[in-house]
């Protein structure tokens, strides 16, 4: 009888513990079955074409979030937009690479302080592979921190951090630095358990974060195969099969115009045509309807930051 009582107590204790492990959607005040979605434009600031298309898609389309590349030449245009639209949801697309053929940028940190980040021409490396081979984690950390500081100098209050070309996911040390910078500035950083399977190194995400950190249940982004098969079809499937939880759809918005064709020359993947297709779909009435029909609730990083990171605790 006594033993049965102990089992019963243990049973109720377990129920108690499990019931406290809330889903992100519940922590944010939504029912467990809610399909939350961030429709997120990457690469803001890289070019005027990207800025114009992203801002248009945020204002008249379904895009509700984006992130800024601080080292890029069109930063001032983004800062002006943020000033005029202070509630916009823009974070930082922490940038350690400069991937295009003829249009380049360097670090925001002085070259002599981060020599490992820069190639022989003084630009950030084109590829993540070269970056990781050459850069010390401390250099990546310093550059990421300086990009945040520079955004603040420009009056930009970033709602979240993520990572251009996934460079922060390229080594365990880079990943640790990325998470550290998020903590320093008390903003959510894009993280998901998916990373445990996709990074080139083995790690346990729980060992790097605290239970209060927000994880995205699913990061969704088109790959070159999806582009070949047709982007509208890919995005339709994404929206129709979205599951409850916090989902983040990473897209790239720009016009297929002279500037963007030149920026992305010789690089059809993630090129200007791809970006125009993203713009077309996420400003279409079809997209709006699909979100409604599939009961998808849009959420911003700003809401996540302000509800779960900056509660005044």
Site of interaction with its own copies (CB under 8 A): 48-49, 52, 73-77, 80, 101-105, 108, 110-112, 121-122, 150, 153-154, 255, 257-259, 262-263
Nearest-angstrom CA–CA distance, 295 and 34: 8
Which lies closer to its own copies via its Cβ, residue 30 or residue 103? 103
Q: Which is nearer to its own copies, 265 or 308 (CB)?
A: 265
Handedness of CA 227, 230, 231, 234 (dihedral sign): negative
CA angle 34, 31, 39 (to 5 degrees): 30
Identity of the residue, 74 or 282, whose beta carbon is nearer to its own copies in the bound complex: 74
Q: Least separation, in Å, of the C-beta of 195 and its own copies?
A: 32
Distance of closest approach, residue 270 Cβ to its own copies, in angstroms: 18
Say if residues 148 and 158 touch (Cβ distance below 8 Å): yes
- Which of residues 119 and 192 has its CB atom nearest to its own copies in the complex? 119
**How long a stretch of residues is the chain?**
313
Closest distance to its own copies from the beta carbon of 275 (Å):
14
Return the number of the residue (72 or 287) whose C-beta is nearest its own copies: 72
Say if CB 35 and CB 296 are below 8 A apart.
yes
Residue 208, classified by CB atoms within 10 Å of its CB into exposed (0-12), middle (13-18) or buried (19+), is middle
Q: Which residues lie closer than 8 Å to 261 by C-beta, 6 or more apart?
A: 271, 272
For the chain, helix, strand, coil in percent to 5 are 50, 15, 35
Q: How far is the CB of 247 from its own copies (least distance, A)?
A: 33
What lies within 8 Å, CB to CB, of 282 at 6+ separation is: 39, 57, 61, 62, 63, 235, 251, 253
Shortest CB 22 distance to its own copies, Å: 43
Q: Which is nearer to its own copies, 208 or 262 (CB)?
A: 262
**Rounded least distance, CB 76 to its own copies, Å:** 5
Distance of closest approach, residue 312 Cβ to its own copies, in angstroms:
32
Q: Pick from 8, 41, 37: which is nearest to 25 by CA?
A: 37
Contacts for 174 with CB less than 8 Å, ≥ 6 apart: 132, 137, 140, 167, 168
Query: Shortest gap between Cβ of 18 and its own copies (angstroms)?
Result: 52
Q: Phi and psi of 246, rounded to 5°? A: -95, 115
Query: Which is nearer to its own copies, 153 or 183 (by Cβ)?
Result: 153
Residue 109: CB atoms within 10 Å: 20
Q: Which is nearer to its own copies, 150 or 307 (CB)?
A: 150
């Amino acid at each position: 009888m006594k033993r049965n009582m102990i089992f019963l107590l243990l049973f109720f204790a377990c129920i108690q513990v499990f019931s406290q492990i809330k889903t992100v959607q519940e922590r944010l005040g939504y029912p467990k079955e809610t399909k939350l979605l961030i429709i997120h434009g990457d690469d803001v600031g890289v070019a005027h074409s990207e800025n114009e298309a992203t801002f248009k898609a945020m204002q008249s389309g379904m895009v509700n979030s984006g992130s800024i590349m601080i080292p890029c030449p069109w930063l001032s245009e983004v800062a002006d937009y943020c000033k005029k639209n202070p509630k916009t949801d823009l974070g930082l697309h922490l940038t350690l690479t400069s991937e295009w053929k003829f249009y380049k940028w360097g670090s925001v940190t002085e070259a002599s302080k981060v020599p490992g980040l820069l190639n022989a021409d003084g630009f950030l490396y084109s590829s993540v592979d070269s970056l990781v081979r050459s850069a010390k984690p401390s250099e990546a950390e310093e550059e990421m921190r300086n990009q945040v500081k520079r955004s603040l100098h420009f009056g930009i209050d970033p709602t979240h951090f993520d990572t251009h070309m996934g460079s922060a996911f390229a080594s365990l040390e880079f990943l640790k630095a990325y998470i550290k910078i998020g903590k320093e500035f008390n903003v959510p950083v894009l993280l998901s358990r998916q990373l445990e399977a996709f990074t080139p190194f083995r790690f346990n995400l729980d060992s790097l974060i605290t239970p209060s950190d927000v994880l995205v249940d699913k990061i969704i982004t088109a790959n070159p195969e999806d582009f070949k098969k047709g982007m509208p079809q890919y995005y339709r499937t994404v929206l129709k099969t979205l599951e409850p939880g916090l989902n983040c759809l990473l897209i790239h918005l720009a016009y297929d115009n002279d500037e963007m064709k030149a920026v992305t020359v010789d690089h059809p993947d993630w090129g200007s045509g791809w970006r125009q297709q993203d713009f077309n779909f996420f400003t279409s009435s079809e997209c709006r309807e699909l979100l409604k029909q599939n009961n998808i609730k849009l959420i911003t990083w700003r809401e996540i930051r302000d509800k779960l990171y900056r509660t005044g605790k």
